[in-house]
Structure 1
Amino acid sequence: MTLPRALAPLRHRSYRLLAAAMALSLLTQGLWAIAMVWQVVALDGGPGALSLVAALGSGGMLVMTLLGGALADRVPQRHLLLLVALLQGGATSVAATLSLTGVLELWHLAVVALVDGAALGLFYPAYSALVPALVPEGDLLAVNGLEGAVRPVLGQAAGPAVAGFLVAAWSPGAAMAGTAATAFLAAGFLLVLPLTPVRREHADGAPPPGLVADVREGVRYVVATPWLLATLLFAAVMLLAFMGPFEVLVPFAIEDAGGGASQHAWVLAAFGLGGALGSLLVASWRLPRRYLTVMNLLWGVGCVPMVVFGFTTDLGVMLVAAAAVGATFQAGMVIWGTLLQRRVPPALLGRVSSLDFFVSLSLMPLSMALAGPLSELVGRSGAFLVAGLAPPVFAVVAIWAARLPADELAHPLDVGRPEPEPSSAAWMGDDGAGRAPVREGEPWPS
């Protein structure tokens, strides 16, 4: 029987194993998100305490991302993914034990969040570099569509829903125990995943470049590519405005509306289900002709419903707002993933993926840390106004400053098959300075 296009990658056994491990990793993240929040609440922590724990998790992830990108080009990616699963399982097992025995303190939870975040910093670049080694190039677009639908369902819907049930029925410690068990199950799938050799070419007899040189090469490419740099900078400031209020302040808006852990899980589930729908819709259509403009506007304008959380106590309205934000956010992510695969040289994709993760999330720890103080300074409604109305302005600035409409017209992705990209060194000048590949067209506008 022929599989639908979106499921075609699942015909490859190795990808099925990786997809199962990815699904369990997403469940782990969703479970942890709810368990961590309500464990802070159970410890009588407020927005400031939650900001601290969330910021440490984000900071650990951010610090490890660049190292993870360089390692993904040197170490078998399966080893890195297995290390991630074992770190997450081990750290949350400790937190669950401390919580269930009644001796957990806030600083314990903060340390576990830091370890969990550091592990996630290794996950994304290793996973991104491994997928093209397991599926043929013709299936990569289907992989994007499939993962774009599965990721929010498991990470923002199923995981939070299960954790919310465990917290409501038992305790945050029980939810953390479930988190650890899920992480260890992911490790089991990774253990049986075939080992894939690292795809890295070096000149005969030449020693491999150092980690710093690897990172520097990726940075040069990003800086030399206007559409890439502008989008990453926009994503960074968008998440600065949006992520802190969503992660830190939404639980307290729900609590003020008479809700608790279960209602918080419903809101995250709505965000995830909206994201799945947005992914499937975009994956079912042709790539937009104005793909850069559409993508950035989806992310920017999609934040506007965040304003709702500052001005309503109706849980139904909050659910609709969360679904709308999730749909537009994930729809943009599907376009972004396809764009990277089509316009970034394959030999640089792992490092560019890590830089994508690093730059776009660079201000997220600050966002988490500032959300609580900002709500105290301007009120929770004021903080949600900033979260909803600042990103559309940032999107328009990015589109205009980097001349994205001209770039997308010069590099259409909705017609035919693209020409092969140059090798990782082809965009480097004789003097070692970075320049955009020939296909990237115009240099950075003066």
Structure 2
Amino acid sequence: MPTPPAPAAAFGPTPTRRRSVLRDVAFLRLWSGATASGLATWALPFVLGLAVLDRALTAADLGLLLAARTVGFLVAVPVGGVLADRHSRRRVILWAGLVAAASSPLLAAGLGRSPLAAATAAALAGAGQGACRPAFQALTAEVVDVDRRRQANAAMTLAVRVTTLAGPSLTALLAAFLDTRALLLGIGGLWCVAALAPGGGAGGASAAGRPRRVPFTTEFADGVREARGHPWFVAGLAALTTVIATGYSATGVALPLVSRDAYGTEVVLAGAMTAYTAGALAGALVVARRRPRSQGWSALAGLAAYGFAPLSLVFPVHPAVVMAAYAVAGVGIELFNVPWFTATQREVAPDKLARVSSLDFLLSYGLAPLGLVLIAPAIDAFGARQVLLGCALACFAAPAAAALVPGSRHFSRRPGPVPEAAPEAGAAG
């Protein structure tokens, strides 16, 4: 009589389909907090712009407040990175969010009355924003397992793009019923959500076994050394910084000028920015499901696609060409962002991840204001066409150069393609 087949359990557990990250309560709480912080970050300059229209602020006051917020951000990013590696990352998000929330009523009270109080509040808002960014990035690696991080990072960036697309209409609608001070208090409410949504508890590996009395500069230097140990990261960060300092500056300064002078309408400006956001949404959806064999080179090619944005402003073309170029740039930036964040979370030592992420934000976004400051004088000195062409060439050349660095093909020090579920490189370090 033939022996009956062994039950499935004899060969180990039956494989099950991994649950979507969007059904994970811990991630959804984290996602909600990150989305609220992103919306609050975006809304503040928009609401302050409305205050200028209402004559509650002058243009000079607006510049001062935005500068103060930028200074607060730049100071707090490295501090937040060190604290998020030293203590619980949830706790860092909690306190950073509460600091930013507390700045809103102070800013509402000082608006148009006390420039010093308003500038202090703006700096606190920037500090809260800067401190929570590396903590959110590192906490994602704690909450989500390795093979679902690409999906998680895509969900994070999708939320940013949706708020960017829908935010102006929502804020304009609220402004019809609420004054500027009420809107600022609403931003404080968003920061409270950002602070409380991820929940409490210890930060996992980040807080375990760490010395408590190491100088800040020493801990941050450890993070810099960790970053330098990944040549692909250094090269990619240099490329990203170049693209943001040139391409984003062309978008922020030259696009409004070209829209006004070459086309005689603001429709090109609005259409290009909408196309960029729509392209970024599409890019995030694509990259959540598609994983190319050479993910690093594919990501760097996406980053280089931003060069089409300033290039479309060099020559007189139909407005639809400008909008299409910005849509391509939007797709490309997300083809870079999601693999970049996922690879950083996978390759960097877990106890140094927040510091390395803070270095990322500090250089890439910290140097963006420098590009904005320099591009207008450069246009006056050399002409818009030459400057825009230089920006486009920089956007193309920097990622191409980064692709030549060892490890850039797969965003890893390992040879060959890296499985999404591979053990983390820094787990033993």
Report the TM range for the smaller structure's normalisation: 0.7 to 0.9
Contact conserved, 2:247 with 2:309, CA < 8 A, in 1? no
- RMSD of aligned alpha carbons: 3.7
Contact conserved, 2:276 with 2:329, CA < 8 A, in 1? yes
Provide, for residues 387-412 of structure 1, a one-character-per-residue CA deviation record: whole Å limited to 9, x for no partner. Answer: 32321112222223557349869533
Q: In 1, distance between residues paired with 2:357 and 2:283?
A: 22
Task: Note if 1:342 corresponds to 2:346.
Answer: yes
Q: In 1, distance between residues paired with 2:183 and 2:24?
A: 29
Q: Residue 167 of structure 2: which of 129, 136, 159 is its match?
A: 159
Provide, for residues 181-222 of structure 1, a one-character-per-residue CA deviation record: whole Å limited to 9, x for no partner. Answer: 14413414643643120332327xx65533322212111111
Q: In 2, distance between residues paired with 1:311 and 1:160?
A: 30
Q: In 1, distance between residues paired with 2:371 and 2:299?
A: 22
Q: In 2, distance between residues paired with 1:96 and 1:336?
A: 37
Contact conserved, 1:69 with 1:126, CA < 8 A, in 2? yes
How far 1:307 sits from its partner (Å)?
A: 3.0
Change (3 A) 1:69 1:328: same
Contact conserved, 2:93 with 2:195, CA < 8 A, in 1? yes
The amino acid across from 1:222 in the alignment is A
Task: Note if 1:356 corresponds to 2:365.
Answer: no
Q: Aligned residues: percent identity?
A: 24
Q: Secondary structure at the match of 2:338?
A: helix
Alignment of 1:45-444 (within 5 A): 45=59, 54=66, 56-96=68-108, 103=112, 113-154=122-163, 156-163=164-171, 174=180, 177-178=182-183, 180-188=185-193, 190-191=195-196, 193-199=198-204, 200-202=207-209, 209-256=214-261, 257=263, 267-286=272-291, 288-309=292-313, 316-400=320-404, 402=406, 404-405=408-409, 411-415=415-419, 417-423=421-427, 426=429
Change (3 A) 1:54 1:97: closer
Provide, for residues 384-438 of structure 1, a one-character-per-residue CA deviation record: whole Å limited to 9, x for no partner. Answer: 33332321112222223557349869533354742443446x3xxxxxxxxxxxx
The amino acid across from 2:74 in the alignment is L
Q: TM-score, normalised by structure 1?
A: 0.77
Change (3 A) 1:333 1:121: same
Q: Residue 35 of structure 1: which of 47, 55, 66 is its match?
A: 47
User: Is there any run of 5+ residues in structure 2 with no aligned partner, and where?
Assistant: 1-16
Contact conserved, 1:254 with 1:315, CA < 8 A, in 2? no
User: Is there any run of 5+ residues in structure 1 with no aligned partner, and where?
Assistant: 427-446
How far 1:383 sits from its partner (Å)?
A: 3.6
Q: Secondary structure at the match of 1:303?
A: helix
Change (3 A) 1:134 1:339: closer
Provide, for residues 72-108 of structure 1, a one-character-per-residue CA deviation record: whole Å limited to 9, x for no partner. Answer: 1233333332333344444444545666xxx379888
Work out the number of aligned pairs and report it. Answer: 408
